[in-house]
Structure 1
């Protein structure tokens, strides 16, 4: 076949089109949205340094593996990390104290089992710590707080929620169990009779013959059965001799006695504690009738009762030892315990391991028949054989035997004992220095530690006595502890103190940081009757061969108040100690030189103006007493006068919450100050006879002040009589040190110096007067109010004064510091809680931002003025007012407030109340408990020594629901006791004709401004009575 023509072949080639795709654009919002919905767990280091860090890491992975977590990385790192840390802390706490012990009482959920066994406290240097009920309840609260949180209620935590709740409940239950056991143990120790009574603890059971015995029972009780068959009827055998040693087997052996024998038996069981301590069994004569069986069993029980071991309580043994010593004189306690145990058959265990070792040594002494064996372990320590320090020891003995300080008296902690001690040195350092001053030159002086070992030990039978030589007849005593109260603003105020310290560190080169406080009043006795300066506290070095009686009256007319000012050496970091710097102490007469804000700041001004560097910033931290309560106007006025006189650029004063003066670092100075004051007895010298006669008829500080107004020379005579006493105290204080920095003293501010400081306020407003110390009195002081509103910020716990900063400011002077530093100065911040509400934000987060005190806890929980919140315990009435007949004036609003009592006060109680009112400053809303707490008197504590005040304030009350805006109380008018007609609204005195009428009295201003006036039901009569005004 032929093919014609020209042809072409076409081939189709498929060519792929390459499309260059762009990188997809990721939206930042999508990333944030994805991260907020994804689950995260807190991140911990992948290389844990210890077992606790490994536990946190394992807990985090455990939550992740079980499908738990928190939405968002931030939530995991904040909320989740806090949860894991708290859970690890609780687990670690249980593990380090023995999870087995807790599991014996309450079974911990098995879900947590894998996290125990990590602590291994047996490898620690110290002994295994014990469970503490307070620590357990804190751990429980932390755990239970998480159970109700919103994220814990999500489905992803269903596997954990129930077990976590059980775990928290178990910790709380075990805490309650420990508290109950502690109470029970205390009752047992203090009981004067044996805890177990044989009538209740002993019992007899009769078991019938069992002919259907199993072969296993026959073999188990074979030996006991054989002995019973050999013994006569009614002859008891001790079952404990036939019981297995293993606890559970022993229990089962005893439980099986009821079906173990072919004959009838009687069993006597005696329980001393939780276990069956004594068990006897005997065979009953099968021919005996019921009456004979009962009589024979009673005879057996009587016989066995005489053989029972007796376990005396600690109180019983203590009473026996004291009675024995009264008859035969002093003897070593260990020997007396042995004698009592032998005579009375006491089988109770020793109180502790140390006593047990001592008792064992006494047993060896009895066996050896050597009465000198281990009578005093100091005999085994004669000290070094050389005579290097013999000269010092000889002068030390002379120092204790001499009379060089016989006028310096100390009161023992046992204040009511017959014997008191003569204190002759403040501390080891002071003793070493004083003896060295007596020694000839070139005498070898021992170290403080070696000097301490020459004393008497506290107990010569303890092993620690081997270290003491007893060369010097001296020994140390103990210091009692102080109690702390709780307050709702504790955490809030602590944050403010931290902010103040961080502010001082930030401007360290331009600042003073001052800590101030007053010590509680030191009593001063009348001529010839020295009184202990400090009732309780640290006891000092005392002579063992001397004693001296010191009066210890509850009340004295005179008193000296030590004021302490500490110039802190500001550290470079908040982690470093602020307990360092120069300490100044001033001693003031409590009658004519009372503590008040202007006096405190005048004394501070005198110290600051003599400082080498005049800083532009001043930061002050004080306690919450009325002299330093920074929200009081009189305190603010004194701070403003200090600010003006020193031409400061910035002043910030912060105070502690009520009852928490221990937070102030200067409070720790008080323990050092107690070293000097603990060892002295105080009395004033005698004045001229005519002035002594004037003082004798005065029963309070106010009476003495009134007498001084009538006799001008009385004040001078009185202060001169206190001068030697103050001089003695100053000499002792100058011997004290803080970190090798000696204390210095300052003189109290005079009236003239305080007036000069006050006059600086006239530079702001020349219309101010010394009486303008309340908010009402400055309402028309417009220039001052302009300065106050412009330069001052007042809060409940701090007060700030800051210059405006502009060179052309018409209100006050320009700043002194350089412009660069001033640009960094901002308002002092108020604490603001973090998102989780567990703590407050840091200083760096808040400084420079505008804040308010809206987050102050006490502001949120502010009391409402209604009777449900009245802590008086009764409704105030005219009769309750008549029982006291005394008023007290508010230091802020100047209104008089009524003091109430449920019963008529005795003359002694009236005097006691008068003395207390002399020393305090009152503000509306305060209670006497609050005021006494701010003065360092803890009358609410069950351990308080102020029993008379505690009893008085249980019946004497002020209405704590009142505020400065509250009107005068109706019982003031209805009681008919008080002559002065006071305005019902503002408390100002009214005209006499306003006393009578349909309405309560109103002054002219209030009569015009108050629309709804208060009616009264009947006319009131007014007669003059006493009113207390606190200056």
Structure 2
């Protein structure tokens, strides 16, 4: 029967006899013992391939097809893995817990482990596929049928060391149209344009000496030793030092607006939250630094996309000053900064990089090194970042020692981040922008208007600076969700410099979304509004704020603990929901 089955279907299906025999066994439930040892070995490897469903195993299976020397072709690689695991145990395991506690994972992923071991071996050494390496680990669950495919050669397995709340905003559709316009604009000017997506990752707590703290709030699986516990102090343990990664994605602009905008060069700047706090001027300095490293600093059109945090919100005067400083210092012809709607930060391209960074932070616990006894005593008496900064102002040695105690932690995290990739492109890691780079930007503002002060953080204050106000009225367009700086194009203008682009006249003001004539629930295409004078009168939140309300219009009610008088429990989520609100407006 098996022979008839193989002869019948071999006419219409190209498959080896071993595959045909396995198909027969699977369909008929045949459990007969293989006739020879070779047939048994072939069947075992075929079952591994079928269970794994990974085509990368084809190379490994063919390489291991014969006994003898070929059977040991990956032996050098696996020996190096053994050495690597032994080195890991020495540096990552807590000796006080008898070798059962670690603060660092063996590798970020199987791919990362394979790359690390390959880098330690000569170029001609045979390297197994990621799937074959994974099958050398301990099985995830010993009772699963797939556990028979694991060899258990290395005591490694995945261990765990989702949340995202997306609230709706009335301007979500409106801002989506702005983002579509942005894509069309950068594609239209891709030869002379650079597109950046920027954001700050949530801070990373740094434990006190001897108390490593989990680097992220929620951990996922990572490769670690199967006989070692991977634990650390919880993230909410008291910590006085924190690090903030600022992430910049220089996007490879596709040829069409429907193309892939999630590719390019990622740069991570790790900053000390106490002495290197995030600010609009520091972010601009870091963006210029990244542009210089990627060779895009000279492009005359610059587009920046962010989630609208306090350091990137284009309506803030401090953010506008930073963007104007960049525009003046780099002699840009066109600078556009766009932000997402509130609660819609996931629309920012660089936001997807944060999940990749989390791979490097899985099961990593960090703590700073010990300072001198006097400095540790000073730090122990300080409870807030403001107090630490105030003390450091009159004590330079205290600041230097505290920053020095974080140097090893920064180096560890930078090494982890530099091993990450985005579509084959490795991440860059940089330090925080220096005071000299920020001073260079501030000098550009002072050259424009020497009366501007760093304390000018309100629009009313900027309006009192005559030369700055003249420049902003002449060259800038301020909207709720984007800020545009554009030269006028006149060679004789005394306010802005002559344009660098030969086709500058074709550059028009960035348009505001306008409702479609056919369907008011949709917005016009970019080609219909580009080059026309538009306003933000159709922004839903502005329409709500500006719409007249009569005497009979319902008054808004503030829902707080003081105004809620009764509540009921939801039958689905068992959470309280307000039942009656006292109107006090």
TM-score, scaled relative to structure 2: 0.79
Contact 2:231–2:363 (8 Å) recurs in 1:
no
- For the residues of structure 1 that align with 2:257 and 2:149, how far apart are their CA atoms? 40
Aligned 8 A contact 1:381 1:469 in 2: no
Offset at residue 548 of structure 1 (A): 4.3
Q: 1:713 aligns with which of 397, 408, 413?
A: 397
For 2:134 and 2:114, the matched residues in 1 are separated by 10
Deviations 1:666-685 (A, max 9, x none): 11111221121224211111
Q: Which runs of 5+ in 2 are unaligned?
A: 1-43, 50-60, 95-99, 566-571, 579-584
Q: SS of the counterpart of 2:266?
A: strand
Find the partner of 2:491 among 787, 807, 826.
807
Matches within 5 A, 1:563-574: 563-574=246-257
Residues 648/441 of structure 1: CA separation in 2 closer, same or farther (3 Å cut): closer
Identify unmatched segments of 5+ residues in structure 1: 1-376, 410-417, 877-901, 903-941, 944-953, 955-960, 962-1031
1: CA distance, partners of 2:119 / 2:258: 40
2:93 and 2:521 mapped to 1: Cα distance? Answer: 52
Q: Residues 90-169 of structure 1: matches in 2 within 5 Å? A: none
SS at match of 2:338: strand
1:593 aligns with 2:262: no
If asked which structure has higher relative contact order (CA below 8 Å, sep 6+), I would say 2
Map of 1:231-246 to 2, 5 A cutoff?
A: none
The answer for the alignment partner of 1:79 in structure 2 is none
SS at match of 1:423: coil
**2:481 match:** 797
How far off its partner does 1:869 sit?
A: 3.3
Contact 1:653 1:800 in 2 (8 A): yes
**Shift in Å, 1:721:** 1.2
Confirm or deny: 8 A CA contact 2:251 2:264 kept in the other structure: yes
Rounded to whole Å, the distance in 2 between the matches of 1:508 and 1:396 is 45
The answer (yes or no) to whether the contact 2:103–2:363 under 8 Å persists in 1 is no
Aligned twin of 2:512:
830
Q: 1:827 to 1:479 in 2, by over 3 A?
A: farther
Match of 1:770 among 454, 461, 466: 454
2:524 aligned with 1:841, yes or no? yes
Q: Does 1:870 align with 2:558?
A: yes
Whether 2:422 is the aligned partner of 1:734: answer no
Q: 1:670 maps to which residue?
A: 354
Query: Compared with structure 1, are the counterparts of its residues 448 and 811 closer, same or farther at alpha carbon in structure 2 (3 Å cutoff)?
Result: same
SS at match of 2:191: helix
- 1:814-963 correspondence runs (5 A): 814-818=498-502, 821-835=503-517, 836-862=519-545, 868-874=556-562
Contact 1:421–1:542, Cα closer than 8 Å, also in 2: no
Q: 2:113 aligns with which of 431, 438, 441?
A: 431
Q: Distance in 2 between matches of 1:487 and 1:496?
A: 15
CA distance in 1, matches of 2:306, 2:216: 22
Q: For 2:199, what is the secondary structure of its paired residue? A: strand
Deviations 1:446-486 (A, max 9, x none): 01222223333333333444543333322235794533222
Residues 719 and 402 of structure 1: CA distance in aligned 2, closer, same or farther (over 3 Å): closer
Equivalent position of 1:518 in the other structure: 200
Alpha-carbon distance in 2 for matches of 1:437, 1:404? 20
Give the direction of change, closer, same or farther, for the CA distance of 1:676–1:452 in structure 2 (3 Å limit).
same
CA positional deviation for 1:625: 0.8
**1:639 and 2:323 correspond:** yes
Please state how far the C-alpha of 1:440 moved relative to its aligned partner: 6.2
Question: Aligned in 2, Cα 1:500/1:756: closer, same or farther, shift over 3 Å?
Answer: same
Mark the CA change 1:720 to 1:419 in structure 2 (over 3 Å): closer, same or farther. Answer: closer
Distance 1:586 1:837 in 2: 44
Alignment match, 1:552: 234
- Number of residue pairs matched by the alignment: 499
CA shift in 2, pair 1:442/1:807, >3 Å:
closer
Q: Residues 553, 449 of structure 1: CA spacing in aligned structure 2 closer, same or farther, 3 A cutoff? A: closer
Partner of 1:692: 376
> C-alpha deviations, 1:878-902, integer Å up to 9, x for none?
xxxxxxxxxxxxxxxxxxxxxxxx9
